[in-house]
Amino acid sequence: MMEGRTALFIPMTVALFAGTATGGVFKCEVDGKIVFSDTQCAPESEQVDIRYRHSDPAEAADIQYRTERAQAQFARRRHANRVAAQKRKVARLGHERDAQLAALRDKKALANNNLAGAAWEQSISTEMTAVAEQYRQKIEAAQRELERIQAQQ
């Protein structure tokens, strides 16, 4: 039974890729086994003309319908994956921002209650403002990209 499947698999595989082969399909014997290739694999290679024919028009229409459905389903999944990945990016940026701001707040809490401590505290506050602005811009850009991806559906 397995030989029958293999016998069907090889010609169907070759038929699928035959359109991409510029030189055609060649049948060769390598180590006692029949091999199909898009290049001449031996000097005595035989070029094979492969054509897939549907004996039943209803079968051809069914195959076309199932192929189009599978392609549409694949496109929907790919789109959903892109949306999910972009949402994760937006969330990751928010988490990174929060972590950096928390670290700066912890640092700020260590400032002494004197002139040097006040200057250091002001410096950290300025850094916190810069971090918040930097991440605001990154998050807004990521959200715009998310909206663009969602609109492609």
Residue-wise pLDDT for 28-38, tens only, equals: 888 888 887 77
State the DSSP code for 47: E
Q: At residue 21, what is the residue type?
A: A
Per-domain residue ranges of the chain:
2-48, 78-151
pLDDT at 81: 95
Torsions phi, psi for 22 (to 5 deg): -80, -30
> Lowest-confidence range among 26-40, 46-60, 99-113, 124-138?
46-60
Instruction: Provide the pLDDT confidence category of residue 23 given band limits of 50, 70 and 90.
Output: low
Angle, alpha carbons 69-75-78 (nearest 5°):
140
Instruction: Provide the pLDDT confidence category of residue 16 given band limits of 50, 70 and 90.
Output: very low
pTM: 0.58
